[in-house]
A and B are shown apart, each in its own frame.
Chain A
Amino acid sequence: MKNNNHLRAAFRAAFPHTIPIMAGFLFLGIAYGIFMNSLGFSAIFPILMSMLIFAGSMEFVAANLLLLAFNPVQALLLTLMVNARHLFYGISMLDKFKGTGKKKNYLIFGMCDESFAINSSVKVPEGIDKGWFMFFVTLLNHSYWVTGSAIGGLFGSMITFSTEGLEFVMTALFVVIFTEQWMSQKRHLSALTGIGISAACLILFGGERFIIPAMLGILGVLTLMRKPLEKGEVSTA
Chain B
Amino acid sequence: MMTTEQQVITIGMIILGTVLTRFIPFWLFPADKPTPAYIQYLGKVLPAAVIGLLVIYCFKDVSLTAGNRGIPELLCAGITMLLHFWKRSMLLSIAAGTISYMVMVQMVFQ
Query: Chain A: residues with CB nearer than 8 A to chain B?
Result: 16-17, 19-20, 23, 45, 48-49, 52-55, 58, 62, 65-67, 69-70, 72-73, 75-80, 83-95, 97-99, 104, 108-109, 111, 113, 116-117, 120-121, 162-166, 168-181, 183, 185, 188, 190-196, 198-199, 202, 207-208, 210-211, 214-215, 218-219, 222-223, 226, 229-230, 234, 236-237
A65→B14 contact, CB < 8 A: yes
11 inter-chain pairs at a CB distance below 8 angstroms, sorted by A residue, are A16-B91, A67-B1, A76-B14, A76-B17, A83-B18, A88-B53, A95-B43, A168-B76, A176-B93, A178-B81, A215-B53
Main secondary structure of the interface of B (DSSP, over half): helix
Interface size on B, residues (CB 8 A): 69
The answer, yes or no, to whether B66 is at the interface (CB within 8 Å) is: no
Cβ of A215: which chain B residues have Cβ within 8 Å of it?
53
B10→A66 contact, CB < 8 A: yes
A90→B2 contact, CB < 8 A: no
- Report the Cα distance A113→B54, complex, angstroms: 8
B93→A172 contact, CB < 8 A: yes
Additional pairs, 18, CB under 8 Å, beyond known A58-B18, A90-B25: A17-B90, A19-B91, A75-B10, A79-B17, A84-B21, A86-B22, A90-B24, A99-B31, A171-B73, A172-B76, A172-B77, A172-B93, A183-B84, A191-B51, A210-B56, A210-B60, A211-B53, A222-B42
